[in-house]
Amino acid sequence: MKIAIINGRVINPANGFDRICDILIDNGKIVSIKKLTKIPENAKIIDAKGKIVSPGIIDIHTHLREPGHEEEETIRSGTISAAAGGVTTVCCMPNTHPVIDNQTAVEFISLKAKNEGVVNVYIIGAISKGLKGEEISEIGELKSAGVVAISDDGNPVMNSLIMRRALEYAKMFNLPVISHCEDLNLSADGVMNEGYVSTTLGLRGISKESEEVMVARDIMLARLTGGHLHIAHVTTKNSVELIRQAKKQKIKITSEVTPHHFTLTDECAKTYDTNTKIKPPLRTKEDVMAIKNGLKDGTIDCIVSDHAPHTEEEKQKEYDLAPFGIIGLETLLPLTITELVLKKVLTLNEALAKLTINPARILNIDRGDLKIGAPADVIVFDIKKKRKIEKFYSKSRNSPFLGWELYGFPEVTIVNGKVIMENGEIYV
């Protein structure tokens, strides 16, 4: 099938390309990126005048909940949610039931994704067997099964020796180790950021230090082992500073942030709305500021959703009892555009880099670059049009952004040369 995306502003952060021209897609691949003198017959025409055309988003931190919690999300519904959000590639975390800590489990996800997924799915395997943090999983086997990274996300690896071994061993396979930094003894039974708000709400707090001590520890282990450390969902000012210093020392470290951590603060919890209950928690104004600065100066490499679906029944509970997590695939791009680009924290090019080529390079995924012959993962979006969030394509609705008006919603999502989403309609 031929697709011609015409008149749009094509931005390709991988090489700094930023020009009004056309993209021609055929047989799943990009055929040309230039002004077309003639549009081929029987090509589907997408008029992107006044809009942005960019590589599809690569979200390297999502939870698809299958196998085990299909009532929250499935690979199918999660990838549909991705397509609705302009995300053409997702990486799914292994904290499913059962855990993705062996070859069979990886193959299950691969097959499910191939048969039922509507966007590209890459798999992150577990660092430790059963995510218990006691024994490293068969990382070599996971690699040959096709994982692109390992992580115990949802959990930290509390035992420093295990984390060291994981970094050393994974280095052999060129696998980044994605670390969820949280000292469980410090965070204990906390449910939100520890501070004035948690004190007045009477809710147990999670200190910033519970993240920072682990960031510091992991950085030292990365330095010791030479392994590639990727810090998941950074939330505090000091974490950003630690990463900044580590990069100066040329330690192999990369990091990510989520849109909710550069948009919201712990003040949102005042209504006891459990859609503000997240791990790591929403922090304070100074942390939001530090994250934005970290994005600006390159300390933070990419922006991810940490899409974590939960059913209404699970979330409709007392704050202490509700599970942590919010969905995010569909608000990833709009929040980045509204809060970072339109508020002049990042340029459009810089923001798109954080969503496409940077995550691709971190995980060695050969996508996120609009070049001739590449698989056609392309999106079209409008940064001038405002829209109110009224529904979600995900199975779950646990988002604090319901009712928000944002700019930059994707209008067309093309995956491997096939239109999967156009103007809100899903075509599968």
Q: Using an 8 Å Cβ cutoff, are 134 and 163 in contact?
A: no
Interface segment toward other proteins; rule CB under 8 A; list 238-246, 317-325, 329-337, 376-384: 317-325
Minimum distance between the CB of residue 272 and other proteins, rounded to whole angstroms? 3
CA 228 to CA 342: how far, in whole Å?
A: 33
103 phi/psi in degrees, rounded to 5: -60, -40
Minimum distance between the CB of residue 389 and other proteins, rounded to whole angstroms? 21
Q: Using an 8 Å Cβ cutoff, are 152 and 128 in contact?
A: yes
**Token duo for residue 361:** 């390079």
372 contacts other proteins (rule: CB under 8 A): no
286 contacts other proteins (rule: CB under 8 A): no
Minimum distance between the CB of residue 202 and other proteins, rounded to whole angstroms? 3
Site for other proteins in 160-199 (CB under 8 A): 194-196, 198-199
The amino acid sitting at 369 is: D
Between 39 and 321, CB nearer to other proteins: 321
337 contacts other proteins (rule: CB under 8 A): no
324 contacts other proteins (rule: CB under 8 A): no
Between 312 and 366, CB nearer to other proteins: 312
**Parallel, antiparallel, or unpaired for β 120-125 and 229-231?**
unpaired
26 is catalytic: no
Q: Using an 8 Å Cβ cutoff, are 109 and 68 in contact?
A: no
Between 81 and 198, CB nearer to other proteins: 198
Interface segment toward other proteins; rule CB under 8 A; list 71-79, 169-177, 211-219, 318-326: 318-326
Between 128 and 198, CB nearer to other proteins: 198
Minimum distance between the CB of residue 203 and other proteins, rounded to whole angstroms? 5
Angstrom distances, CA of residue 341 to CA of 11, 62, 379? 14, 23, 17
The alpha-helical segments, DSSP class H, found in 139-257 are 139-145, 160-171, 184-187, 196-201, 209-225, 237-248
Asked if the bond preceding 94 is cis, omega within 30° of 0, the reply is no
Between 319 and 392, CB nearer to other proteins: 319
Q: Using an 8 Å Cβ cutoff, are 314 and 322 in contact?
A: yes
Between 313 and 366, CB nearer to other proteins: 313
Interface pick for other proteins out of 319, 381, 401, 409 (rule CB under 8 A):
319
Between 84 and 203, CB nearer to other proteins: 203
317 contacts other proteins (rule: CB under 8 A): yes
Beta bridge partner(s), residue 62: 92, 307
203 contacts other proteins (rule: CB under 8 A): yes
144 contacts other proteins (rule: CB under 8 A): no
Minimum distance between the CB of residue 314 and other proteins, rounded to whole angstroms? 11
200 contacts other proteins (rule: CB under 8 A): yes
Interface pick for other proteins out of 1, 111, 172, 321 (rule CB under 8 A):
321
Between 104 and 199, CB nearer to other proteins: 199
The amino acid sitting at 288 is: V
* Catalytic option among 153, 287, 306, 377: 306
- Count the residues of the shown chain that bind other proteins, applying the rule CB under 8 A: 19
CA 363 to CA 97: how far, in whole Å?
A: 24
Minimum distance between the CB of residue 194 and other proteins, rounded to whole angstroms? 5
320 contacts other proteins (rule: CB under 8 A): yes
CA 356 to CA 219: how far, in whole Å?
A: 25
**Token duo for residue 172:** 């052999």
Describe the strand order of the beta sheet including 302-303 as a list of residue ranges: 57-62, 87-92, 120-125, 149-151, 177-179, 229-231, 253-257, 302-303
The number of helix segments (H) and strand segments (E) in the chain equals 14, 21
Interface pick for other proteins out of 41, 312, 318, 366 (rule CB under 8 A):
318
Minimum distance between the CB of residue 160 and other proteins, rounded to whole angstroms? 22
> Which residue from 51, 11, 18 is spatially nearest to 383, judged by alpha carbons?
51
Instruction: Give every CB contact of residue 18 below 8 A, 6+ residues apart in sequence.
Output: 9, 10, 11, 12, 349
Minimum distance between the CB of residue 327 and other proteins, rounded to whole angstroms? 21
**Parallel, antiparallel, or unpaired for β 87-92 and 43-47?**
unpaired
Q: Mind telling me the catalytic residues?
A: 306
Residues within the interface to other proteins (CB under 8 A)? 194-196, 198-205, 271-272, 316-321
